[in-house]
Amino acid sequence: MGSGLLLQPSGLAALRSLGLLDPALALGARVERLDGRDLNGRRPMNMSYGAWRPGGFGLGIHRASLFGLLHDATRAEGIEIRTGAEVTGFDRLESPSLTDAVGRAHGPFDLVVVADGSASQLRGLLRPRSRAPLYPWGAVWANARDLDGRFSGALHQRYDRASTMVGVLPIGAGPDGARDLVSVFWSLPRSQMDDFFAGDLTGWQARVLVIWPETEPLLAQFAGPLDFSRATYRDVSVGRWSAGAFVLIGDAAHGTSPQLGQGANLGLVDAVELGLRVEAPEHLARYQRSRRGQTAPYQLMSRALTPLFQSHGWLGPAVRRWLFAPLAQAPALRRVAAHVLTGVFRLGPTPEELRPD
């Protein structure tokens, strides 16, 4: 289910370490730059992966395609997968057994990896003082076919101040085999989402066409609001990720807004590095110290950037215009920005297995 993800070089390095890079490249679509423009034609977002490294690129991919790769690889390893077992509790922190929603017990386990997303149900039981408030803004997403390749090669965005953002991300193949797919996303406050899904898509399509006439072939493929999925985001603050034999990873540990497009990448690197560093629960503190060198800066930067792209008023777009335009023009600053964009920024050493080619 869902729509598109942008895998950065950091996420692609994680897939390579799992032996899954080539099938991912076959399913996804190369993204070589970010092109964001406002209604006056200014380009507050104009970044190329080539500024990081010649030939560098990201990969747009359907969520279901990425899930399928990971799921099939897990099954190929002979790992047991139990479905229909929503974990709702546990009996103790050390060598725990887990309880599901219908009262069945599973375990005991040496290690429990809690990877149930930013709205994690177990996080509050493990870390009662954790916080995960919803961001006031979210997005709606839908997929369409870009038959003439008009939007290939780049993540495209159009802005009307910071209160309106529409974007198109190439994602390659879908789970049904359809090719040349793109994800179309529209930013809006959470308080307006119900009205979007209850309303008439015609008015929304007309509004988008005023902002971005070139999207007409994509918009014409949507029959109604139910073609879209809603996405909401949480600002997750946990403190220590582990307790006893439990460890939080991915958005359950450090979810934030999508403004830097790093959520899936950080989660993939979390999982790979967990396998590299942890052989027993006593290694979990060392694992978190290593991961904090990457996750903490990206959480901080995402929090700072969110008001520049999703907010009301004039201040956000003004800061965005005066901040990102110089980044796009000054070679030294452009390289720094590209280093952040690619997901490889990290305080401390990167394991050799996770270094991009």
Spatial separation of the C-alpha atoms in residues 6 and 264, rounded to whole Å: 8
- Give the per-residue pLDDT at 333: 73
How much is the CA Rg of the chain, to the nearest whole Å?
Answer: 21
**Helix pair 263-277, 284-309: axis angle to 10 deg:** 170
One DSSP character per residue, 198-242 reads HS-HHHHHHHHHHH-GGGHHHHTT--SGGG-EEE--B--B-SS-E
- Give the per-residue pLDDT at 1: 64
Q: Which two tokens stand for residue 44?
A: 């507050």
- Give the per-residue pLDDT at 335: 79
- Give the per-residue pLDDT at 30: 97
- Give the per-residue pLDDT at 334: 75
- Give the per-residue pLDDT at 328: 58
- Give the per-residue pLDDT at 311: 75
- The 10s digit of each residue's pLDDT in 309-356 is 777 777 766 776 676 666 656 677 777 888 888 999 999 999 999 999
Task: Please count the residues of the chain.
Answer: 357
Helix (H) or strand (E) holding 26: helix 21-27
- Give the per-residue pLDDT at 162: 66
Question: Do the beta carbons of residue 310 and residue 267 sit within 8 Å?
Answer: no
Kindly give the parts of the chain with pLDDT less than 70: 1-2, 162, 316-317, 320-321, 323-330
Spatial separation of the C-alpha atoms in residues 211 and 347, rounded to whole Å: 40
Domains and CATH numbers, the chain: 4-67+136-231 (3.30.9.30), 110-132+239-310 (3.50.50.60)
- Give the per-residue pLDDT at 153: 96
**Helix/strand/coil for 59:** strand
- Give the per-residue pLDDT at 12: 97
Task: Name 90's bridge partners.
Answer: 98
- Give the per-residue pLDDT at 274: 96
* Predicted TM-score (pTM) of this structure: 0.92
| CA dihedral sign, ordered 267, 269, 271, 277 | negative
- Give the per-residue pLDDT at 257: 87
